[in-house]
Amino acid sequence: MARDEAGLSRREKMAILRRAADRVSTLILSTDLPEVDILIERNKLRALCEELFPGREDLFEMIYESRFDRLREQFGKDRPAKPSGP
């Protein structure tokens, strides 16, 4: 199995990315985090995707962006845009 300079195989990198994406999905589905915090986590996942798969920026767009948009549309419409507080 081919490994990159960090010693990770493609399968291992995909598993890391999948776990991180599942975390973002859980945040959308199961928390009351404001939309801005969800967007921060989505951007962190985008950066991780670019780090694990350099030159494949399209990967995030193809797989995850529409998935998160659908989840937000179905389950997160009433989420506050900004954190509420004092």
Residue 3 lies in a domain: no
Residue 33 lies in a domain: yes
What whole-number distance in Å separates Cα of residue 42 and Cα of residue 40?
5
Q: Evaluate whether 37 touches 43 at the Cβ level (below 8 Å).
A: no
Residue 83 lies in a domain: no
Residue 16 lies in a domain: yes
pLDDT digits (tens, 9 = 90+) for 15-73: 999 999 999 999 999 888 888 999 999 999 999 999 999 998 888 888 899 999 999 88
> Which range marks the domain in which residue 48 is found?
10-75
**Those residues with Cβ within 8 angstroms of residue 52's Cβ, 6 or more apart along the chain or in another chain:** 8, 13, 16, 17
User: Could you give the number of structural domains in the chain?
Assistant: 1
CB atoms within 10 A of CB 21: 19
Residue 4 lies in a domain: no
Residue 27 lies in a domain: yes
- Which DSSP symbol is given to 8? -
What whole-number distance in Å separates Cα of residue 7 and Cα of residue 13?
10
Residue 62 lies in a domain: yes
Q: Which pLDDT score, from 0 to 100, does residue 4 have? A: 63
- pTM for the predicted model, two decimal places: 0.80
- Which DSSP symbol is given to 53? S
Residue 80 lies in a domain: no
